[in-house]
Each structure stands twice: as C-alpha cells, then as structure tokens.
Amino acid sequence: MATKKNGSMVGKRPAAGTKTARVWDTADAITRENGRAATCREVRDRYTAEGGNPNTANTQFSRWKADHDNRAAGDAPDTAPPLADLQPRRLKVAPDGRLLIPADMREAMQLREGGTVIVRVEGGELCVVDLYVSIRQAQACMQKYKKPGESVVDKFLAERRAMWGEE
C-alpha cells in the first residue's frame, strides 16, 4: 500500500520479475554505475532500449526516486557518514552569479546531483546545506529529547485522536 511521505507517494518495491521492478532495478544499476542517483532520462532510455514502455519507465522512476530520496533522508544521524572539512580555496563567480562547487567539496558536503539545498547568508557568508543533511542534523539535535522506545508519531496521533474525540 502506497503512503504519502514528504509530499510524494512512497510504497513498497514492486515484485521481483515484473516490468515495473525492472525499472527500479535499472535505476539501481545506473545509480551504482555512476555513483549518484540515476536520472529519469537515463532510466527511460535504458528501459526503452530493452523494449520497455517509456510511460512505465517515467511512472516507476518517479516512485523509485521518491523511495530513494526518502531512504536517503531517513538515514539515522549516527549511521550517516560524517561531514568532511576541507581547506578554504578561491572560486570564481560567473557574471550571471553562478558558483561552481568543485566535486570534492560537493562530496564533502554530501550534495547530490539534482538534490535540494538550503541556503542562507550569515554575517556575509553564504551557507549551503543539502536538504537531507539538514534533516539529519535536526534529528540529531532533537534526539536527546526522545525517550527510549517512545514513538513520537504514535504519541502525536494519540493526542490528535483524543482531541478529535476518536478515543
């Protein structure tokens, strides 16, 4: 059964051996080969080259991507790789304001191709943080308030049900 998480439909992986599972397998293979998340175009091109329907590829890719992103966001703070520190260096700002972040810096910041970042300016300095890194940092910060064995979601739902008179 698919559920809504972070605005995307997320469900279980399709059954092995099905056409839809082949799209997920293709996306996983491309991700492993390239060391980054597969793109819709890459998956669709490979899937259709193998005789698959491009519409199936598009639909299943969006489901695979939501699952892939939610798994990345769900990494526990203590299991996520540590953020790295690098020496400062000079970068050029293009006339249109673009800034090219070198690959080693993107890797150290855990920035993913096509990912979303949170940006802010503090004291004249531009701070760029990957959305999922930001989520993990918030989870780590709040972990000290969570009691062992406590489900914050279950507690919240119980409070809402009581408020709505469902209990």
Answer whether residue 61 shows pLDDT above 50: yes
Main-chain phi, psi angles of 152, to 5 degrees: -60, -35
DSSP annotation string for 103-156: HHHHHHTTPPTT--EEEEEETTEEEEEEHHHHHHHHHHHHGGGSPTT--HHHHH
Query: What's residue 6's pLDDT?
Result: 44
Query: What's residue 74's pLDDT?
Result: 58
101 neighbors 111 (Cβ within 8 angstroms): yes
Q: How confident is the model at residue 148 (pLDDT cuts 50, 70, 90)?
A: confident
Query: What's residue 121's pLDDT?
Result: 94
Displacement of CA 138 from its chain's centroid (Å)? 15
Q: How many CB atoms lie within 10 A of CB 41?
A: 11
Domains annotated on the chain, with CATH: 3-73 (no CATH), 79-167 (2.10.260)
Please, what is the Cα angle at 48 between 47 and 52, to 5 degrees?
Answer: 80
User: What would the pLDDT profile of 23-44 be if each residue is shown by its tens digit?
Assistant: 999 999 998 888 888 999 999 9
User: What would the pLDDT profile of 73-94 be if each residue is shown by its tens digit?
Assistant: 655 445 566 778 889 999 999 9
94 neighbors 74 (Cβ within 8 angstroms): no
Query: What's residue 113's pLDDT?
Result: 85
Query: Which pTM does this prediction carry?
Result: 0.47
Q: How many CB atoms lie within 10 A of CB 97?
A: 6
Give strand pairing partners of 117. Answer: 130
Least trusted range by pLDDT, from 34-38, 49-53, 72-76, 148-152: 72-76
